[in-house]
Amino acid sequence: MGRITVVGSYNRDTVLAVPRFPQPGETLAATGMTRFHGGKGSNQAVAAARAGATVTMVAAIGRDAAGQGALALWAEEDIDARAVMSLDGVPTGEALILVDEQGENEIVLVAGANGVLAAEGAAGAVAGAALVVAQLETPLGVTEAAFRAARARGIATLLNAAPARDLPDGLLALTDILVVNETEAALMLARTAAPGALAAALAPRHARGVVLTAGAGGAYWAGRDGVVVHVPALPVEVVDSTGAGDAFIGAFAAALVERARESEALRRGVVAGALACGVAGAVPSLPRLAAIEAAAAQYR
């Protein structure tokens, strides 16, 4: 299996259980608090490693307790962290996550060290990878530098366009596979439509195609050939959806570097995302390969 290089964020997640989301100006009592490892980049790296891939992490952390926790996590998950920057005077990133009684979440981020990740280190870490994966919780210039280095070496790139924001044309041109949800796709197209139509509209902009995740609606793959593939969601009792998107991307990416067809990679991603919804916390919820394969076998 080829190696995946993940360029992205690490956050320490503080998760507050709430009966519902507060209204503007309202103070609401939480019913519980837990802390987990987080950050889209780190979550996706762990998800890919648990799904069977060899993974290198490129990130920036502070020289603090949270940063030491990140290094311990990556070592435990057998993720190569030699390209991770440990910085003095900058805190490790933080995330505050509210989870309601239906398992839905709202997230507020503090970038910390994620905001000063260096482009040079990211670009240098892509050599030897089969796929470079990035998100939007670190500086766009860093992702663009990594993708440019990947393109020069003939390495495929995958961009998870989350959190939603405007993206430069240069970065999109370097993105082989774009992964978005319905909100992110509608923002990029400045219109709403059915999920499959949104994916199809975005696909011609990218070398291979677009994945659109639709939660309970499953996921869609739209290739440049105009073919749209839909994989329905698995029925699942949602405990916490925080890690579902990252579980999807990690399993999808791991399947791609195993040379699976996009439709099969999509199915594995949907299965992993569904399994993640049944466990509280992002990293604890990320399923391992055996669980993904067992659930996928029943889902054919």
In-domain check, residue 286: yes
pLDDT of residue 300: 67
Note whether residue 165 is domain-resident: yes
Binding site annotation covers 41?
Answer: yes
**pLDDT confidence bin for 206, thresholds 50/70/90:** confident
Q: Residue 83's pLDDT is what?
A: 96
CB count, 10 Å around CB of 78? 10
DSSP character at residue 9: -
Ligand-binding annotation for 100, yes or no, is no
285 is an annotated ligand-binding site residue: yes
Question: Is the model's pLDDT at 75 over the cut of 80?
Answer: yes
Residue 20 carries which DSSP code?
S
Computed over every residue of the chain, the mean pLDDT equals 93
**Other CB atoms within 10 Å distance of the CB of residue 178:** 26
Of 64, 80, 176, 246, the catalytic one is: 246
Is the distance from CB of 138 to CB of 144 less than 8 angstroms? no
Residue 240 within a domain: yes
pLDDT of the residue at 1: 67
Indicate whether 17 pLDDT > 90: yes
Residue-level pLDDT at 251: 98
Q: How does residue 297 score in pLDDT terms, banded at 50, 70 and 90?
A: confident
Query: Quick one: which of 260, 263, 280 has its CA closest to 289?
Result: 260
β-bridge partners, 158: 133, 177
- The reply to whether 127 sits in an annotated binding site is no
**Alpha helices (H) along the chain:** 40-50, 65-76, 119-124, 140-152, 169-173, 182-189, 195-202, 244-257, 262-276, 282-285, 289-298
Residue 246 falls in the annotated catalytic set: yes
Residue 151 lies in a domain: yes
Domain span at residue 197 reads 3-10+38-92+115-298
Say if 105 falls within a structural domain: no
Give the whole-angstrom CA distance, residue 211 versus residue 196.
10
Examine residue 175 and state whether it is found in any structural domain, yes or no.
yes
pLDDT value, residue 207: 80
For the chain, what's the residue count?
300
Q: The CATH number of the domain where 249 resides is what?
A: 3.40.1190.20
Does the residue 24 lie in any domain? no
Total number of domains constituting the chain: 1
Answer yes or no: pTM beyond 0.85: yes
Which of 225, 226, 202 minimizes the C-alpha distance to 213? 202
Mean pLDDT on 150-176: 94
In this prediction, what percent of the chain has a pLDDT beyond 90? 74
Dist CA 281 CA 248 (whole Å): 15
Q: State the first-to-last Cα distance of the chain, in angstroms, to the nearest integer.
A: 23
Asked if residue 280 has pLDDT above 90, the reply is no
33 part of a folded domain: no
**pLDDT at residue 79 tops 90:** yes
